[in-house]
Structure 1
Amino acid sequence: MKVLLILGHPRVESLCGALADAYSEGARAAGVDLRRLDLAELDFDPHVHTLSPNQQPLEADLSRARELVEWAEHLVFVYPTWWGGTPALFKGFLDRVMLPGFAFTTCESGIGYEGLLKGRSAQLITTMDTPPLIHKLLYRQPGRNALAKATLGFCGIRPVRYLACGSVKDSTARQRQAWLARAKFQGRQLQRGRISPFEWLQHKAGAWLKALRLQFYPMTWVAYAIGALAASPPGDLFTTGLFWLGYLCLFLLEVATVLTNDVIDLPSDRQNRFYSTFTGGSRVLVDGLLSQREVKAGIFVSLLGFAAASAWLVNLAPGAAGSITLVLVVLAILALGYTAAPLKLSYRGLGELDVAVTHSIGVLLSGYVIFGGDWYAAFPWLLSLPLLLAIVPAITLSGIPDLEADAAVAKRTLAVRLGRRGALEVALGFTLASAGVALIWHLLGIAEGAYGGIAYVVVPHAALLAFCLYRQRGKVELAERGNISSRIDGLMGVSLSYVLWFGLFPLFQLLGH
């Protein structure tokens, strides 16, 4: 293992210097290849004098430091916490070394920046006069957050361990010896690897949470709850095990679906320059957070759980077993068929319709038949129609950022087939259609008044969304010429929030009956 230790104290002969010595001793005993930089002994100007730090030539010592940062697999920073942060010397070192093009780069995806120092981990060892617990609870650890998250994490370095030693001013010789022993122990721990078992577990848990894409699940729950309420009086519905068992089936099916999409859409996701929270997949395979084998195992486990939970549900539910089975089987075929063979609906130009159907009538009808309703009854279909129409604009717009990547792998989304302008026109048409249907349902009391009052918020929101879509049309030509980004985060936010009304209004109306 290649380890670089950087002492950020302006005095080498200090407690921080002793902690650096202790860590180095432990690390070398662990058999690692350790190199050390004492910033106090480097010859460099800590101030950035040029408009861009890249315009200021690096001194010889900083060039060597940069080479060592690039060489290292594990970075160790030992420094005092002064005024809640790092010393000026240490901060100046970071300003001069962690430069654009070396430590990070701008991009058109994610948050707009990408760390270039991925694959490295770090250890922070700091001294302070404030007791560490007070520093954590009262001041919220500003120095740690700035260095671990806003600097190292921003550059792709993670995990970042943290060891705080304090209060120094009130410490005894025995306490200082204990800190030195802890620093040495931290270095010695490297014989077990850069990543501890707990850190590995945290990493995997975080990767799986990212893979699940939980931001899409609330609307599924809402539509399912609407269906269940439509077939059964509210009462204690949400406290019954049957309700949550039914939702467990849908949850596991959605897990299997998003994981399947990640595996099959991997060639497109790798080329996607404009991904965001709601477009471009979870990125766990692209970023190497999970392997294909792990994700495929997740698909298998979730489908197995879906089948087991569905069998249990059919035996417990008051609805007809045949109806429940039929609805769940059709829903599973359509959900998985979004990307999976043989249907591959998103590759045939039917993906948007598929998502709209599964996330409206599909999950709503599941709740309805589980609690005794008939799948062929008009009520659930009328109840779901406005929601179905409202989903189409958002799912159509989500294809615009992905257009180039999807076209490269022959994924025939509406944005690929119709172009950006055509996708915007489809979104506009369905926005107006959903608002019109919502208004009719509101005025005529269709679906037993479940959409009563919705027109008061949907019509203004639809007008706002239509205005945003019209304005976006003016940017299409520039986007196609490559003069502006294909990201449409603001427009996506307006369209996704528009869908919420079509779930929340019927949900609360049915709860009030």
Structure 2
Amino acid sequence: MDDSREGRPRKILVILGHPRRESFCGALAGAYLEGAGSAGHQARRLDLADLAFDPDVRMPSPRDQGLEPDLARAQALILWADHLVFVYPAWWGTLPALLKGFLDRVLTPGFAFAADEADPSAWAKLLKGRSAHLLVTMDTPPWVYRFVYRQPGHQAMRRATLGFCGIGPTFISTFGPVLSSSPEQRAGWLEGVRREPLRLADRLRRDAVRRRAGAWLRLLRLQFYPMAWVAYTIGALLAWRHGGTFSPQVYWLGYLCLFLMEALTVLSNEWFDQGTDRLNHHAGPFNGGSRVLVEGELAPGSVRRAMLGLTLLLGLALAVLAALPGPAGPGPMAMLALAVLAVGYTAPPLKLSYRGLGELDVGLTHSFAAILCGGLLQSGVWRDPHLWLIGAPLFFATVAAITLSALPDHEADRMVAKRTLAVLLGRRGAALTALGFVAVAAICGVVWQQRGLFGGRSGLAVFLAIPHGLLLVRAIWRYLRRGAPCERINGIMVLALTYLLWFGIIPLAGLS
């Protein structure tokens, strides 16, 4: 849908899915059509009860079963429309058989979606650009349908059917219980439906704002920021404990710099990794980027402007940090070096992930470098051995996680010459390398405890990381026994990312 034209008159197809035209659903369909005409929209009505078609798919694929003339006309109407209104009762919690059979026959491969035969988990949504509204009647109280039954029919239509084909947003209006409703209540429902077409432009505008905000949030990938903050805070607390002068002003301004460089890094990764992201059939919550750019959810120009804005803000924040009187010392220069390393993961001229140095870069920037910046800003010294001891297990656990995250991206990365460890060593070699990093991180944690780096419960908590590490090793080993396939490994990634938390939270608790 062209979001800039949401206020234009729309072509609306009202589909009555009730098997009886003379029903309250039929009255709702008529009310919507009347309102659409008054609002200046083009509207047509399709009553499924009047169509002659076989509702059963009798061939191995719906595409192999010839369409009856009425179904061919229905497909043409769906292509004509840019807003679909389905009016039907919720029977046994879901759709009437007539509407279900209609959808089975009409939403065929090649018309509603295109399957990827090489990858069954990937498909093209062919009905994008259309929105929908479900007008659903029921005799169940709507709150029972929502909170007790969990809206099975709504979920099936909005997500598994219309959403699968690219139709969205889908708005839902529920009317019930109809059986016990009064004539006045039904008249009010009809009047509300009559006004719905007048509200369509506002509904679409609000949804567009919500979707854009959601796209920006997904693009920023805020879920990956906390560990950099933990490492930075560890450095600040360590310097304070070892004689530094803690300045809250310097601490928060330094963290602002860290946050801005993290955001800039994420956006630059999305921008410069578009080639591999477009080829990636195994993208997930922990790999393959947010896919906001490659799926066209945000305009490239807006992302470029955001990157420029973040760069300017980061430069300004670093300048203010350097100009502050107090304990910052060489911290601003360390922050600048950290920014160059972080953004250089994919951005030219460094493009470290394309030179075989990406995993090392992420490990350093999320452990030693962030700890060092936090410490130097609070009059810490880089020669403090505690800084390096505390950063070691966090470094190895982070490298293990980033190495594993590239396994599902292996095929796409290889095609664009991105030199991750998965590409350089193969999936099996990279998984074995990650397994070794997991073990080294645990060994470093035991060294913490043996050297008395953290006392009390914080020190003993290191031993809780060992069984967690063993679970991760077991999961990696099972992946290897399956032949190290190029597929999503969400379960392994959850274990890997929570494993590295131990080596950030334990020092943070011990120094607080």
What TM-score, normalized to structure 2?
Answer: 0.86
Distance in 2 (CA, whole Å) between partners of 1:367 and 1:448 is 22
Distance in 2 (CA, whole Å) between partners of 1:50 and 1:10 is 25
Does the C-alpha gap of structure 1 residues 280 and 29 become closer, same or farther in structure 2, counting only changes over 3 Å? Answer: same
Matched, 1:274 2:282: yes
Matched, 1:299 2:307: yes
Identity rate, percent: 51
Distance in 2 (CA, whole Å) between partners of 1:239 and 1:144 is 54
Query: Quick one: which of 401, 406, 409 aligns to 1:394?
Result: 401
Distance in 2 (CA, whole Å) between partners of 1:131 and 1:464 is 46
Runs of 5+ unmatched residues, structure 2: 1-9
What TM-score, normalized to structure 1?
Answer: 0.86
Does the C-alpha gap of structure 1 residues 233 and 76 become closer, same or farther in structure 2, counting only changes over 3 Å? Answer: farther
Matched, 1:347 2:354: yes
Query: Quick one: which of 119, 125, 145 aligns to 2:129?
Result: 119
Partner in structure 1 of residue 106 of structure 2:
97
Query: Quick one: which of 170, 187, 190 aligns to 1:180?
Result: 190
Does the C-alpha gap of structure 1 residues 169 and 470 become closer, same or farther in structure 2, counting only changes over 3 Å? Answer: closer
State the shift of 1:376 in Å. 4.0
State the shift of 1:363 in Å. 2.1
State the shift of 1:502 in Å. 1.5
Q: Secondary structure at the match of 2:225?
A: helix
Partner in structure 1 of residue 4 of structure 2:
none
State the shift of 1:207 in Å. 0.6
Partner in structure 2 of residue 405 of structure 1:
412
Q: Secondary structure at the match of 1:161?
A: strand
Q: Contact 2:235–2:372 at 8 Å: present in 1 too?
A: yes
State the shift of 1:348 in Å. 1.0
State the shift of 1:495 in Å. 2.4
Q: Secondary structure at the match of 1:164?
A: strand
Distance in 2 (CA, whole Å) between partners of 1:246 and 1:121 is 45
Runs of 5+ unmatched residues, structure 1: none
Q: Contact 1:109–1:276 at 8 Å: present in 2 too?
A: no
Q: Secondary structure at the match of 2:330?
A: helix
Distance in 1 (CA, whole Å) between partners of 2:394 and 2:52 is 65
Distance in 2 (CA, whole Å) between partners of 1:244 and 1:386 is 26
Does the C-alpha gap of structure 1 residues 486 and 148 become closer, same or farther in structure 2, counting only changes over 3 Å? Answer: closer
- C-alpha offsets along residues 323-356 of structure 1, whole Å, 9 cap, x if unaligned? 2211210111111111111111111111111010
State the shift of 1:507 in Å. 2.1
Does the C-alpha gap of structure 1 residues 83 and 467 become closer, same or farther in structure 2, counting only changes over 3 Å? Answer: closer
Task: State how 1:132-147 maps to structure 2 within 5 Å.
Answer: 132=142, 135-136=145-146, 140-147=150-157
CA RMSD of superposed structures (Å): 3.4
Partner in structure 1 of residue 421 of structure 2:
414
Q: Secondary structure at the match of 1:303?
A: helix
Distance in 2 (CA, whole Å) between partners of 1:100 and 1:222 is 49
Partner in structure 2 of residue 9 of structure 1:
18
Distance in 2 (CA, whole Å) between partners of 1:492 and 1:124 is 38
Does the C-alpha gap of structure 1 residues 455 and 180 become closer, same or farther in structure 2, counting only changes over 3 Å? Answer: closer
Does the C-alpha gap of structure 1 residues 406 and 298 become closer, same or farther in structure 2, counting only changes over 3 Å? Answer: same
Q: Contact 1:442–1:454 at 8 Å: present in 2 too?
A: no
Distance in 2 (CA, whole Å) between partners of 1:22 and 1:177 is 10
Q: Secondary structure at the match of 1:232?
A: helix
State the shift of 1:30 in Å. 4.2
Matched, 1:168 2:169: no
State the shift of 1:48 in Å. 5.0
Q: Contact 1:337–1:344 at 8 Å: present in 2 too?
A: yes
Task: State how 1:332-343 maps to structure 2 within 5 Å.
Answer: 332-343=339-350
Partner in structure 1 of residue 3 of structure 2:
none
Distance in 1 (CA, whole Å) between partners of 2:369 and 2:457 is 18
- C-alpha offsets along residues 192-241 of structure 1, whole Å, 9 cap, x if unaligned? 48x6221111010111111111221222232223223323369xx99967
**More deviation, 195-204/108-117:** 108-117
Which AA in structure 2 matches 1:16? C
Distance in 2 (CA, whole Å) between partners of 1:461 and 1:493 is 11
Distance in 1 (CA, whole Å) between partners of 2:399 and 2:70 is 58
Distance in 2 (CA, whole Å) between partners of 1:328 and 1:450 is 33
Distance in 2 (CA, whole Å) between partners of 1:22 and 1:386 is 66
**More deviation, 86-95/498-507:** 86-95
Distance in 1 (CA, whole Å) between partners of 2:457 and 2:320 is 31
Q: Contact 1:323–1:375 at 8 Å: present in 2 too?
A: no
Matched, 1:463 2:470: yes
Q: Contact 2:331–2:376 at 8 Å: present in 1 too?
A: yes
Distance in 2 (CA, whole Å) between partners of 1:144 and 1:124 is 8
Q: Contact 1:331–1:358 at 8 Å: present in 2 too?
A: yes
Which AA in structure 1 matches 2:44? R
Distance in 2 (CA, whole Å) between partners of 1:186 and 1:396 is 51
State the shift of 1:450 in Å. 10
Partner in structure 1 of residue 236 of structure 2:
228
Which AA in structure 2 matches 1:348? R
Q: Contact 2:20–2:49 at 8 Å: present in 1 too?
A: yes
Distance in 2 (CA, whole Å) between partners of 1:100 and 1:438 is 54
State the shift of 1:369 in Å. 2.9
Q: How many residues align?
A: 500
- C-alpha offsets along residues 55-113 of structure 1, whole Å, 9 cap, x if unaligned? 66554433433343344322111122344433332233334434556545666889766
Which AA in structure 1 matches 2:260? L
Q: Contact 2:442–2:466 at 8 Å: present in 1 too?
A: yes
State the shift of 1:411 in Å. 1.7
Partner in structure 1 of residue 71 of structure 2:
62
